């Protein structure tokens, strides 16, 4: 499936990226290379390959669940660049 510059611009707009024409062409080439590799993988015959759910026969080693003491509120907020009323203060990210 060929990727054209208009498709790269559409994807960039969805990601809210401003791209110049040189960057559009660079991304178009990179995306096309990725899609070509995926198409190559689609052509592989994997019927004889058993499905796998994990990489290890023994499973994942898990640590035991143990309770730990919580940090004191003053210690946690002491690391914050800005705190007020026992809360972290952060910059506003939602426009009004």
Nearest-angstrom CA–CA distance, 96 and 94: 6
Claim: this prediction has a pTM higher than 0.85: no
How many CA within 13 A on the CB side of residue 73?
Answer: 6
Nearest-angstrom CA–CA distance, 86 and 78: 10
Give the pLDDT of residue 63: 87
Give the pLDDT of residue 53: 60
Q: Which residue has the higher pLDDT, 15 or 96?
A: 15
Q: What share of the chain is helix, strand, coil (3-state, %, to 5)?
A: 40, 5, 55
Tell me the CA distances in angstroms from 85 to 19, 74, 75, 78, 81, one per residue in order. Answer: 42, 11, 14, 13, 14
Instruction: List pLDDT tens digits, range 39-75.
Output: 999 999 988 888 876 666 677 778 889 998 999 988 8
């Amino acid at each position: 499936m060929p990727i054209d510059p208009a498709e790269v611009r559409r994807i960039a707009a969805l990601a809210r990226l401003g791209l110049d024409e040189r960057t559009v062409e660079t991304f178009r080439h990179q995306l096309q290379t990725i899609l070509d590799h995926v198409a190559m993988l689609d052509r592989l015959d994997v019927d004889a390959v058993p499905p796998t759910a994990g990489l290890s026969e023994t499973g994942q080693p898990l640590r035991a669940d143990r309770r730990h003491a919580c940090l004191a509120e003053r210690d946690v907020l002491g690391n914050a660049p800005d705190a007020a009323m026992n809360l972290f203060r952060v910059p506003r990210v939602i426009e009004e």
